[in-house]
Structure formats: C-alpha cells, structure tokens
Chain A
Amino acid sequence: MGMEQKGKIIISEEEIQGKVRELAGQISKDYEGLNPIIITVLRGAVYFMVDLTRYLTIPHRIDFLAISSYGPAAQTGGVRITKDLDLDIHDEHVLILEDIVDTGLTLHYLLRILKERGPASIKICTFLDRAAQRIADLHIDYRGFEVGEAFVVGYGLDRDEKFRNLQYIMAVEE
C-alpha cells in the first residue's frame, strides 16, 4: 500500500518543529535539576519523544510503556500493561508523553497505575489535544496543538498502521 490517502495538511513540519522546540524549552526550564524520567506511551508518541528529547537541555532518562487497547477481541478482564517500565519511578519526577489525548480514558488508567508507584511528581505532555471529546477529567501540563473533530494522521498517528512517518499532521477525508 502506498501513501495515497487524500487529506489536508493542518499542521506543517515547520510548525511542528517550532512547537516541539518551544515545549522542550519550557520542560528544560521546569525540570532544571530534577533529572526527570520521560515516559513514552507506545507506539504513536515515539516520534514526538525522539524530537522532543533532542531539544532538551537537561539530563533526563527515557522509558517506554504499552497498555492493551479495547477492541473487538479485548479480554474481558479489562485494560492491562503489556509492556511495563524498566525504571523504578519511586521518588522520581515523571513526565508522560502522549501523541494525542481525546477521551482520556487510557491516560486516566495510566495515571492511576503510575501514581501507586509513588513518584515525586507526575505531569502530562501531549502533542495533540482533542479536548472536545474528553471524558476523564485530566490536567494537561504541556500541550502542542489543539485539534478539532477531523481524523488526523502523521507524526506518529496512524490509520490502520499507516502514515505514522509523515512529517506533518494531515486531516484525512472520511
């Protein structure tokens, strides 16, 4: 399959890089001397993490986490961690990176699990925010762009596992 999906670029590569630099600057300032652990939720946020951390000017560590998603074949037992952290976050300053937060259901679960491990602090940074669809009441500390209703792909976001590698954000035709 090629990259034939039609759509409209809503956030350009330049805008993305500008915003990521801006976020990294803010995070570097806020986490000065704290040596945070940057946790990336697999898989979409990987692209964001790679760019963001390259602009950070403070020492930090990275780790990854994956959780199961609801779906047609979802297990009845409910959500679970499919790839856990390697680092111990107890007494550490934690920053969670997400590609997009919409309903907030996944993140709500994640926050609950991670808070039980006793981190010194825990904050959220999302590249895209679709607040109109929010159900879980979450505080987003760092936000790249607000997006509306359109289905978006690129910069880590996929449609049927495609288009993650686009360097811009595209609203696809439905």
Chain B
Amino acid sequence: MAVITVSRLFGSGGEFVAEILSQATGFLLLNKKTLHKYIGEHDLPQMRLDWINEISPRSVDGLEKERVEYVNTLRDTITDLSRNRHVILLGRGGQFLFMGSKEAVHIKIVASLEARSANIQKRFNVDKATALRLINEKDAEREAYTYYFHRGDWNNPEIYDLTINTTRISLGEAAELILNFLKQRKIISRKKFEKILDKLEEAAKEKEKIAVSFERAADSSLRGKPKKFANKSEEEFARILDYYQIKYLYEPTTFPLKWDSEGNIESAFTPDFYFPDFDLYIELTTMKQELVTKKNRKVRELKRIYPDVNIKLFYRKDYKKLLEKFGIDPEENID
C-alpha cells in the first residue's frame, strides 16, 4: 500500500495538513508520537528513540553502526505498517527512506518566511524576532537530520512529486489538493472520494483554528493560571509589593521553551511576577536549593530563546533576606 511522505518547512502548517488528511482518509498517521510507539517495540536504546524527534547527534563519532541500524529499523517498521494500509509519514526524511519506491508519494509543504513567521507568532504567542529565530533553528535541525541520516538535501525540489505553498493557500485547500492527487494516483477510489472530501472540510475547520491559537497549542497543564498565589511566599511577596505600591502582574506570560518535531510545546515557563514599570520578570524559587537546578535550566533556556526578556531569580536565601529585612520570620512565611 502507499506511503505518503509529507515534508514541511517549520511554520508552514505541514503537520496540520498531514493531520487533516489522516482524519479525512483514515490513513495511519506516522509522526513523532506514533513512531515512538511502533519503533519502541523494537527494543532500541533510548538514544535512538530520541532521534525520531528529528534531532541528529551532536557528535557522530563511533555512531555509524547505530545510524545505519536506526535508518533500517525506521524503514522496516514503516514498510511493515504499510503492508495492509496506506500510511502518511510526517517528516523523518521519508522522501529519502522511500526514494524511488513505486508505492511512495512525496509531498512538500512550504510557505514564505513572512507567512511562517506570522503563523509561529500566532501559534506560540511570541514576537517576530523570536519566531524568526525558531524558524532558523528548526529548519537547520531538520536539514542536519536529513543530511546526517539520509545523506540527502531536503531542499532539492526534484525529490518531491508535489510541492504546495501555503502562503496563500489554506491548510484545508492544501489537503484537498493532495487528496485530488491521490485520487489520480488511484490511491483513493472515485467512489470514496466525495465522502472523504466532506470529512476533510470538517477536519480542516478544526485544525485551522488550532494552527493559529496559542491557547489550544499549549498543553493546558503548562498554562494553568491560578487565580490565587501558588504558595505562601508568593502571597507574602505580593503583599510587600502592594505595600510599596509597585505595579505587578501575577503569572501573565507563558514562554514556550521547547517544541517537538510537530511543533507541539513540550516545555514552557511562566515566571511568577511581571513588573510593567521595570519591564522585569521575577521568579521566586523558595524551594530548597538542591531542587532549583531544573528551574535554573529553564531560566537559562528562556534567556537563550528570548534574549530581550529581563528575568531575575529570587532564590530562597535572597527571599529570606528580604523577609528578614522587614522583620518577618522567614520560617513561617516560606513554603
């Protein structure tokens, strides 16, 4: 059966096009999540599973055997899965894995840099500079991935059967173009086509909303905005700020920090306080010092991705000093 490979520039919406197609046709979608599951059954070491996230190793020395094994496992697994059903393979260098295969159709989704930047800004609630930086980073990661694992140049237009530019074509229209192409290739029968088209419209409506909505893109657990303060320390700190008539907002911004190969937010950070007058974020880390390593890492990552954001960490000892200065017993007010 057919393997439909979908390559996409970061921010072009390619992953949504693949999802719309999968929902409408019922074809099995192979993306990071599902591949993890299927390849996971092959009992490979953890490192190889990480490669599925389209990340090539930093140092390739001594990994040649593993590289070949990974590529073969990937190809074998997908071939197995496509034995009795059509599959849609998102990314992972599918155009190289199944290059020249009669069963395969290679599609690439592109968009102008301007359009991709606008999509990323809307989807992740970031400014233009950050969006452009992310696009550069992700494109470079994917280029490195296809080059390292498949020795191929994903920018070569000749390796794709169909290239769609979503700058002025909606995600639904893009999926419909692919659907028509699959009909011509007889991967989809004329009889089923109309039915699938109805489903496609429905799926497109839903995905197009998600594609531009930060609220939906971010995992709800990462964005839970408590109306109340999370702990006594934050509450006391807020009282001090109120006392000195300092304007602040509590947890107003969530900064996405890590995206997976599908552009889902894997990790985000919401600093506790924002001071609009000073353009400063403050994070109170009143946990025990040994527990703050994870938070430190997140703050470092935040500074790397958003170099223009001012953020300061108040450690337990800093906060303790602040309370002591005001004659407050820190032991009763830190948690």
Q: What is the interface of chain A, defined by CB distance below 8 A to chain B? A: 69-72, 74, 78-79, 102-103, 105-106, 108-109, 112, 132-137, 149, 151
Decide: A136 and B318 in contact? CB cutoff 8 A: no
Q: What is the interface of chain B, defined by CB distance below 8 A to chain A? A: 239-246, 275, 277-280, 282, 312, 314, 317-318, 321-322, 324-329
Complex contacts, A106 vs chain B, CB 8 Å: 244
Q: B329: nearest residue on chain A (CB-CB)?
A: A72
Complex contacts, B240 vs chain A, CB 8 Å: 70, 105
Given contacts A103-B322, A105-B244, A109-B244, contact A135 B280 (CB under 8 A): yes
Q: Which residue of A133, A135, A151 has the most chain B CB atoms within 10 A of its CB atom?
A: A135
Interface of A is mostly: loop
Decide: B243 and A151 in contact? CB cutoff 8 A: no
* Distance in Å: Cβ of B311 to nearest Cβ of chain A: 12
Decide: A71 and B275 in contact? CB cutoff 8 A: no
Given contacts A135-B278, A137-B280, A151-B321, contact A79 B328 (CB under 8 A): no
Given contacts A70-B326, A72-B327, contact A137 B245 (CB under 8 A): no
Q: A113: nearest residue on chain B (CB-CB)?
A: B245
What's the Cα separation between A136 and B241 when bound, in Å?
Answer: 11
* Distance in Å: Cβ of A103 to nearest Cβ of chain B: 7
* Distance in Å: Cβ of B286 to nearest Cβ of chain A: 15
Complex contacts, B275 vs chain A, CB 8 Å: 135-136
What are the 5 A-B residue pairs with the smallest beta carbon separation, nearest first?
A137-B278, A105-B244, A71-B327, A70-B243, A70-B326
What's the Cα separation between A112 and B329 when bound, in Å?
Answer: 29
Complex contacts, B282 vs chain A, CB 8 Å: 135
Given contacts A69-B326, A71-B328, A72-B328, contact A79 B278 (CB under 8 A): no
